[in-house]
Amino acid sequence: MASNAFSLEGKVALVTGANTGLGQGIALALAEAGADIAGAGIVAATETEEKVKALGRRFLNIEANLSSIEPVERIVAETINGLGGLHILVNNAGLIRRADAVEFSEKDWDDVMNVNIKGAFFMSQAAGKHFIAQGSGKIINIASMLSFQGGIRVPSYTASKSGIAGITRLLANEWAAKGVNINAIAPGYMATDNTAQLRADAERSKAILDRIPASRWGEPADLGGTAVFLASRASDYVNGAVIPVDGGWLAR
């Protein structure tokens, strides 16, 4: 396949939670492939903006609290008005709370579910209306190893990431015939703020590394190639997939 099938020149990508970690890594990979970027989140993605602009692409900061569905229509409208269109949505924003299931609070349940699954669905709905009207679009959801496994001490995170796999398939079933591709990336154990507690626990960190065939924690940049593939014409016949990027964790 010609390399230009992976080009994102002329495309606009909206990435939630683009200020750090996986969201920043994905935003930079899409910008390197040619896309202009809108970053939406409660914290302004200042560092990401600087890095995207250094690549010669435009960046639009949209400040919004993604724990509520109230701003989703505004986020889509601001992206289209500010950057002249919308072609790619990456639902990356996410929370994790850790506690034993027997002690897990309703607040920790609701806080995580509101951002990770409710927010992702309604962002997809808002962008999906636009994509269906224009006859094309790409939605990339960020799933997890816990879309496949149970995990420990993260009940709401596990539930939300299992839900991400489910709505990815559901939306693909409904929208594939309308020219919209919906897929997900399931990162393995990545060196981000969400895993800081795990990496600080020497025993737990060793147990994780011992199981990863690649023998290292992943980095945000490791998701870049898969994100560009799913955002580009190269994936036009890929629908409802949940692609692990895990250093071989699931193969073990």
The domains found in the chain, sorted by start residue, are 3-245 (3.40.50.720)
Q: Cα 43–132–129 angle (5° rounding)? A: 45
| pLDDT above 80 for 90 | yes
With beta carbons less than 8 A apart as the criterion, state whether 25 and 224 touch. Answer: yes
pLDDT digits (tens, 9 = 90+) for 1-24: 456 999 999 999 999 999 999 999
With beta carbons less than 8 A apart as the criterion, state whether 187 and 148 touch. Answer: no
pLDDT mean across residues, the chain: 96
Q: Which positions are annotated as active-site residues?
A: 157
With beta carbons less than 8 A apart as the criterion, state whether 114 and 67 touch. Answer: yes
Task: Say which amino acid occupies 65.
Answer: N
| Separation between Cα atoms, residue 228 and residue 245, nearest integer Å | 13
Q: What is the pLDDT of residue 198?
A: 84
| Separation between Cα atoms, residue 85 and residue 79, nearest integer Å | 7
